[in-house]
Amino acid sequence: MPSALNTLTLSGNVVGMPRRNEKNPDLVSFRIASTGTYWSDGAWREKPTVYIDVQCWKRLGENVLGSVMTGMPVVVTGELTCFEYQPESGPTDRDGQVYRQQIYRLKSKSVGLDLNWAKVKEWARRSSDRETKVTPAAGGGADGSGPATAAESTVRAGAAPTEDRELLATVTGGEEAPF
């Protein structure tokens, strides 16, 4: 069966700082929360919030560890996986057997800032001998007309292919993301 059937793109807010796995240092994980909305009876309504663990391996994990922080709006694409296990206690079926539990995870292929809810105010490509800064058009607010409405934070992401360079971005929030 083609793996493309399990590919999922999910947007949401990071609800826990990324952490390196103690048993496997190539794995970095974090959790996101996503709440969908829909229009009904002349008003926006919220769907239940979905929480999902995101797994990032090797270089992606290193870049996430140095870039992603709690509260950041992100877009994540990857393969949906399921881990099933049998707990020792919990709800039971008619025969008294404890129900098997499932944990869904997203094995990430890419993680990025959701530019619907945040704006890159400034970025720089730094190498060992110099740093070049670029500032987008004036106006840091969500509509581009005025100052940013939320606190600024510096985000770092690896700039492939050279290991001695990194991309620096100052991110400003627009309005609060609804997820």
pLDDT at 55 over 90: yes
By percentage, how much of the chain surpasses pLDDT 90? Answer: 41
The larger pLDDT score, comparing residue 54 to residue 173, is at 54
Question: What pLDDT digit, counting tens, does each position of 77-134 carry?
Answer: 999 998 888 888 888 888 888 888 888 899 999 999 998 888 777 555 544 454 444 4
Q: What is the pLDDT of residue 158?
A: 36
Q: What is the pLDDT of residue 163?
A: 39
Taking residues 149-159, report their average pLDDT: 36
Q: Would you call 50 exposed, middle or buried from its count of C-beta atoms within 10 A (0-12, 13-18, 19+)?
A: middle
Q: What is the pLDDT of residue 29?
A: 96
Element (H or E) spanning 63, and its range?
A: helix 58-67
Structure tokens at 32: 């996101």
59 vs 63: CA distance, rounded Å? 6
Would you mind telling me the total number of residues written for the chain in this entry? 179
Task: Tell me, letter by letter, the H, E, C secondary structure of 67-109.
Answer: HCCCCCEEEEEEEEEEEEECCCCCCECCCCCECCEEEEEEEEE
Fold of 1-114: OB fold (Dihydrolipoamide Acetyltransferase, E2P) (2.40.50)
The total of other beta-carbon atoms located within 10 Å of residue 140's CB is 23
138 vs 161: CA distance, rounded Å? 30
Q: What is the pLDDT of residue 154?
A: 37
- Using 50, 70 and 90 to split pLDDT, how confident is the model at 170? low
* HSE-CB for 71 with a 13 A CA cutoff: 11
Question: Domain map of the chain by residue range?
Answer: 1-114, 116-179
